[in-house]
Amino acid sequence: MITKIDHIAIVTPDLDASAGFWADVLGLTVARTEHVSAEDVNIAFLPVGESDIELLEPTSPTSGVARYLDKKGAGIHHLCLESDDLEADLARLHAANVPLITEKPITNAYGKRYAFIHPKGTGGVLIELYEGAK
Amino acid sequence: MITKIDHIAIVTPDLDASAGFWADVLGLTVARTEHVSAEDVNIAFLPVGESDIELLEPTSPTSGVARYLDKKGAGIHHLCLESDDLEADLARLHAANVPLITEKPITNAYGKRYAFIHPKGTGGVLIELYEGAK
């Protein structure tokens, strides 16, 4: 079951400038930053209610996020929904023939699994499903 | 102060098909639907945690949402953040010279006020601020 919006990911060419808007102007707080070398991105996490705004800055011109930025420009990259049963939610997607970008869930540095649903199966939205607490 | 994500608005050419994905495949529930004649849209609201997925279907080919759909295609239209003090949050935006689409807040059918921030001032994201509970 989908339990909440985990985060909204927003691509930016300049993490500091973008964090300035979300923190200094909108009043959110940068709770932490990360460099994910496997994806060549810097990430800033700004909590808002039970969700996060996740700012993504590419650190290599050939990364997926850099290519997205070149093609689509800065803005919302994907919507991440928390699932309390990733297997069951992925099984429903498979049964409905909804295409996944990641056929098998990927495990992140925190031991949590996630998968991406292709926008062509969702009505144009890149959706990440993220394994939350059961 | 920004307190939570109120909703993510997603434009679709076909509300029933789109609601089918979000409800039948992802397992969310259509809590209510509305026709907003002032904006020529049908809206379906699907709660997810403390937020909503809001599906928007244009009902006139000349409406703002129809023009967005023609230009950008189906997908995420805007991010709505709840504010517990709209005046103070708008004052901070004004002080930072962030351009608003709605210079004065608009009052909706429920007596709640909202305003849209121009994407050129936010790093490419159309942001709505919505007046929530104080």
Give the pLDDT score at B79: 98
What pLDDT, in 10s, does the model give residues A63-111? 999 999 999 999 999 999 999 999 999 999 999 999 999 878 999 888 8
pLDDT band for position B127 (cuts 50, 70, 90): very high
Give the pLDDT score at A134: 55
User: Across residues A1-9, what is the average pLDDT?
Assistant: 97
Rounded to whole angstroms, the Cα distance separating A54 from B71 reads: 26
In angstroms, what separates the C-alpha of A2 from chain B's closest C-alpha? 7
> What domains are defined for chain A?
2-131 (3.10.180.10)
Chain A residues contacting B, CB < 8 Å? 1-5, 8, 10-12, 17-18, 21, 24-28, 48-51, 73-76, 79, 81-82, 89, 92-93, 96, 98, 119, 121-125
Is there a contact between B45 and B18 (Cβ–Cβ < 8 Å)? no
Name every residue whose Cβ is closer than 8 Å to that of residue A124 and which is 6 or more positions away in sequence. B10, B11, B12, B73, B74, B75, B76
In angstroms, what separates the C-alpha of B36 from chain A's closest C-alpha? 22
Rounded to whole angstroms, the Cα distance separating B91 from A104 reads: 47
| Rg, Å, chain B Cα set | 15
**B122 contacts in chain A (CB < 8 Å):** 21
pLDDT at B134 over 70: no
What pLDDT, in 10s, does the model give residues A38-59? 889 999 999 999 999 999 999 9
What spatial distance separates the first Cα and last Cα of chain B, rounded to whole Å?
10
Is there a contact between B13 and B63 (Cβ–Cβ < 8 Å)? no
Chain B residues contacting A, CB < 8 Å? 1-5, 8, 10-12, 17-18, 21, 24-28, 48-51, 73-76, 79, 81-82, 89, 92-93, 96, 98, 119, 121-125
Name every residue whose Cβ is closer than 8 Å to that of residue B100 and which is 6 or more positions away in sequence. B90, B93, B94, B115, B116, B117, B118, B121
